[in-house]
Amino acid sequence: MTAYKSSLLKLLDERGYIHQVTDAAALDALASKEIVSAYIGFDATASSLHVGSLVQIMMLRRLQQAGHRPIVLMGGGTTKVGDPSGKDESRQLLTHDQIDANIAGIRRVFDHFLTFGDGRGDAIMVNNADWLDRLEYVQFLREVGKHFTINRMLTFDSVRLRLDREQPLTFLEFNYMILQAYDFLELTRRVGCRAQFGGSDQWGNIVNGIELGRRIEGTELFGVTTPLITTADGAKMGKTAQGAVWLNADLLSAYDYWQFWRNTADADVGRFLKLFTDLSLEDIGKLESLQGAEINQAKIILATEATAMLHGREAAEAAARTAAETFSGGGVGEDLPTLSLGEGMNIAHALTALGFTPSNKEAKRKIAEGAVRLDDVTVNDPGLVVTAAQEPLKLSLGKKRHALLVR
């Protein structure tokens, strides 16, 4: 661990956010003497971000906690192009209205993590469509394009990945790295931004922006990347058998979000407490020292603290109570996800409608394996049609996924 002097880099370093820094000593000195504005960009490809973006959101939260100013850059412009980083194929292009609707949905997530306003350390949200939509292409190429060489761009992982796999890389996407660099330049001009944060896959794009700012404006800019967040078994953070773990409540309930964190592997608990909660390092150290079955208490605290940050303390504690009643007490917690059966529903369809299985075929496979229970009785018939009684029925898949079936 590097001996940083600024509260910003100390905080980021001790909680595990730092993978690379472009000029650590200079950024450390700058953050020690003045408020630093730093940004992270988020393209609006869906109506919500998912938990794979959470480490970046938390990095902006740490920036604000250290007394600096977060800039949330919404990619209203770059979403129209598509970031090729880590992608095997081109992204489906969205309409202007779809992008605007997605930005509105994503904004709700940030309100839970950041304080927005007009103060020196208050977060701001900016949309790069404000300048990218107004670019005059030939003039842009003359002023900005001359600072980029094809030779260098071909060395970028995002480009080489596609070419090595003989996957098409459109000229539209090839421009993405130039536009991202230009975003950094524009944010420096407009709001005094001095640093860009991002995942480790964004290192080349960040360096491009730093160099562009130096060449055109003569401004010293900085970049900080986070490590790739994977689980102990090597899986990418937030990827589950049921699909993406969404941050918007209308796409994933507080209970299911709580349950996602409760299912954290033993080896990941300490690291995730540092990254995704505001608990002190002293408290986290105590939780990390728990052994055997006691580690489950640390997982419950992780789930409750992470859920409280996104959904509020009341919802988090309700989810914890529901889990305790469902798993420990043998009862049915009132906060479980519910599904209305109407006049009746096939058991496989119910599992899929709840998101427990990605398809009816998978649901039938789980039934054949004996993993599905209705009111704690194993279901063996994939053709069973369930009709709701006066009291809700508890549908379970394995030991950890439960829901209520109602009229």
Domain positions in the chain = 7-226, 253-328, 338-406
Structure tokens at 259: 């349950």
Percentage of the chain exceeding pLDDT 90? 52
Range of weakest confidence among 41-50, 200-209, 375-384 = 375-384
CA dihedral (312, 106, 102, 41) in degrees, to 10, reads -170
Higher pLDDT, 334 or 70: 70
Tens digits of per-residue pLDDT, 314-366? 999 999 998 887 765 455 555 677 777 777 788 888 888 887 888 888 888 88
Query: Which pLDDT belongs to residue 287?
Result: 95
Amino acid letter for position 235: A
**Under CATH, what is the fold of the domain 7-226?**
Rossmann fold (3.40.50)
Q: What is the tens place of the pLDDT at every residue in 127-142?
A: 999 999 998 877 887 7
Each residue's pLDDT tens digit, 216-248: 999 999 999 999 888 877 777 765 555 689 999
Kindly indicate the confidence band of residue 124, based on its pLDDT and cuts at 50, 70 and 90. Answer: very high
Which residue type is seen at 381?
A: D
Whether the CB-CB separation of 179 and 81 falls below 8 Å is answered with yes
Instruction: Measure the CA–CA gap between 126 and 193, rounded to whole angstroms.
Output: 12
With 50 as the cut, is the pLDDT of residue 88 above it?
no
Question: Which of 56-65, 86-95, 371-380 has the highest average model confidence (pLDDT)?
Answer: 56-65
Fold of 253-328: Tyrosyl-Transfer RNA Synthetase (1.10.240)
- In CATH, the number for domain 338-406 is 3.10.290.10
**Residue-level pLDDT at 329:** 47
Mean pLDDT of 385-399: 76
pLDDT value at 91 more than 70: no
Region 50-58: what's the mean pLDDT?
95
CB atoms within 10 A of CB 38: 24
Equal CATH topology for 7-226 and 338-406? no
Q: Return d(Cα 159, Cα 88) in angstroms, integer.
A: 10
89 with 167: CB under 8 angstroms? yes
pLDDT tops 90 at residue 196: yes
Distance CA 74, CA 206 (A): 16
pLDDT in tens, 353-369: 887 888 888 888 889 88
Residues 350 and 402: their CA atoms lie apart, in Å, by: 12
pLDDT value of residue 335: 63
Q: Can you give the pLDDT at residue 273?
A: 98
- Name residues whose C-beta falls within 8 Å of residue 139's C-beta, 6 or more positions apart in sequence: none
d(C-alpha 31, C-alpha 69), whole Å: 11
Please give the residue that has the higher pLDDT: either 151 or 70.
70
- 237 against 207, higher pLDDT: 207
Higher pLDDT, 328 or 43: 43
Q: Confidence class of residue 17 from pLDDT cuts 50, 70 and 90? A: very high
- What are the tokens at 233? 């078994």
Q: How far is CA 262 from CA 251, 265, 268, 338, in A?
A: 19, 9, 11, 20
Does residue 201 or residue 18 have the better pLDDT?
A: 18
Average pLDDT over residues 263-274: 94
pLDDT at 83: 56
Burial class for 216, CB neighbours closer than 10 Å (0-12, 13-18, 19+): middle
- Give the containing element (helix H, strand E) for 152: helix 150-153
Beta-sheet strand order (sheet of 372-374): 338-340, 401-406, 393-397, 372-374, 377-378
Q: What is the mean pLDDT of residues 254-270?
A: 92
Least trusted range by pLDDT, from 10-24, 56-70, 218-232, 383-397 = 383-397
What confidence score (pLDDT) does residue 129 get? 93
Mean pLDDT of the chain: 87
For residue 175, is pLDDT > 70? Answer: yes
Return the exposure string of 226-252: e unless at least 16 CB atoms fall within 10 Å of the residue's CB, then b.
beebebeeeeebbeeebebbbbbbebb
The residue with greater pLDDT, 407 or 271, is 271
3-state class (DSSP) for residue 146: helix
CA-based nearest residue to 37, from 196, 182, 183: 196
Q: Which residue has the higher pLDDT, 401 or 245?
A: 245
pTM for the complete prediction?
0.80
